[in-house]
Structure 1
């Protein structure tokens, strides 16, 4: 069982009093009746990078859950205080061994009830060489019509967005 942010707060971090739940802005939220502070759960930002090399997409096969054994883009969480673009460059370097130039933001992806917002960038390689990182056991190039089983719900949606921009049929 996983706790949501709202369920995990039991005591006020300001005064130590037990937290109550109160309807604020249309939702039941943690609220301290003594401090009159309402706690709002912020989303967690992650990045993914769709790298196009020789007309094919760079994908990595994951060695960890979620998505164990399936393929996805280089991706990961943005660290507090880190620029989103720098997180994207770092994840590519760590996970597939490439240095890339981010060409543009492809889109933002989220799922209702899920705390992660995914910022997806398009990129082109400018250095390094393909090599599996710590969380992957293989890295490969795939044509859009020969994709393996993808790891995450948004992966196919991201591919479709890229293909529609290039004029290729999804």
Structure 2
């Protein structure tokens, strides 16, 4: 490695460490000196970009030519950084009249129940992401039965996508991010222990549609809530 490459690598590594420190400070409710104030605990993805991921220089907030929104722009290399929404993709697996839920082994919402879901990877389709996350979190084999709920959550820059799915067998068991996996009837759902509002919404829609005998693809938008995130 030549001196220039080593310098860039060292600068980038220092930048990554600084971002981790910034994330920890924001999530503890302690805005770092010289950076924007955040009062509430926020997901790391909502923390503004501070340093350029290309060259490591501190960025400015400005409206680039031809744009209409403030962006983080690097004054050194000109790189414009965009904060785009993250896709969370999962499934609603069904066996007979019961739904498969996972009890979370990680934060946020450690110990609460959820559908198997997670962040979509860069090299996969929505369907592939749903199947992968279901297998990773519940070691469950499924057959997708169509896109079911799309939940916009603009205040945390996320879109949650849930597929209806049929369990192919009952050989499921907890993956690394789950403490427990279990089938629940509608009457058994622990509504007060569901991790996220998007999951509660998807489950309630599912049981309502099942009673009607017709499943309709739904799009919803969640505003900031206080009961639990998001």
10, 13, 35: which is aligned to 2:51? 10
Deviates more, 1:28-37 or 1:65-74: 28-37
Contact 2:49-2:59 within 8 A present in 1 as well: no
- Aligned residue pairs total 167
TM-score normalised by structure 2 residue count: 0.64
Matched, 1:47 2:89: yes
Partner of residue 174, structure 2: 132
Cα distance in 2 for partners of 1:67, 1:17 equals 35
Matches within 5 A, 1:1-170: 1-2=26-27, 7-11=48-52, 13=54, 18-23=58-63, 26-32=68-74, 37-127=79-169, 129-148=171-190, 149-167=193-211
**Which structure dedicates a bigger proportion of its chain to helix?**
2
Q: Give me the whole-angstrom Cα distance separating, in 2, the residues matched to 1:56 and 1:10.
A: 48
Q: Is the 8 A contact 1:12 1:19 kept in 2?
A: no
| Superposed CA offset, 1:121-169 (max 9, x none) | 000012461211111121111111221110112111111221232136x
Unaligned residue ranges in structure 2 (runs of 5+): 1-25, 28-43, 213-230
Structure having the higher Rg: 2
Task: Structure 1: state its 5+ residue gaps.
Answer: none
Q: Following superposition, which runs of at least 4 residues in structure 1 exceed 3 angstroms of deviation?
A: 2-6, 15-18, 23-27, 32-38
Aligned-partner Cα distance in 1 for 2:112–2:95: 20
Structure 2: distance between partners of 1:12 and 1:58: 40
TM superposition score normalised by structure 1: 0.84
The equivalent residue for 2:32 is none
Cα deviation, residue 17, structure 1: 5.5
